[in-house]
């Protein structure tokens, strides 16, 4: 395993929810990262953000690690969930709530409902 692979493995093992993104949760640097961070922030999810723009090794390795070509990438309890389109779809269908409940991740159910109402 490379150093970058080890760092990714450690990060997703040590944090319940991790978002590999362009920028940070406070200052996303692309629309897709901004959308996923916005959903997580609004739902009150406690998550680690990893700025792939600040670390070229991680930016390259995360794509191989997950076998997923794009950023952002969301991990919950060490498991790859998906990118922007998948997270958006799961949010709107209620699957994201179910995933968080199944995995024991705390979130704001009212906020999740508001997102769905606003996008209905």
pLDDT confidence tier of residue 2, bands split at 50, 70 and 90: confident
Predicted TM-score of the model (pTM): 0.96
pLDDT confidence tier of residue 120, bands split at 50, 70 and 90: confident
Q: Which pLDDT does position 12 carry in this prediction?
A: 98
84 is in an annotated binding site: no
What are the residue boundaries of the structural domains of the chain, listed by start? 3-118
HEC string of the chain equals: CCHHHHHHHHHHHHCCEEEEECECCCCECCHHHHHHHHHHHHCCCCCEEEEHHHCHHHHHHHHHHHCCCCCCEEEECCEEEECHHHHHHHHHHCHHHHHHHHHCCCCCHHHHHHHHHHCC
CATH of domain 3-118: 3.40.30.10
């Amino acid at each position: 395993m490379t150093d970058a692979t080890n760092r990714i493995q450690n990060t997703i093992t040590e944090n319940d929810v991790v978002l590999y993104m362009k920028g940070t949760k406070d200052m996303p640097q692309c629309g897709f990262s901004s959308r996923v961070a916005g959903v997580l922030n609004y739902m009150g999810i406690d998550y680690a953000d990893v700025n792939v723009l600040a670390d070229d090794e991680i930016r390259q390795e995360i794509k191989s690690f997950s076998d997923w070509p794009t950023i952002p990438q969301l991990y919950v309890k060490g498991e790859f969930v998906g990118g922007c389109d998948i997270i958006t779809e799961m949010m709107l269908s209620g699957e994201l709530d179910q995933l968080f409940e199944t995995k024991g991740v705390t979130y704001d159910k009212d906020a999740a409902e508001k997102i769905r109402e606003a996008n209905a």
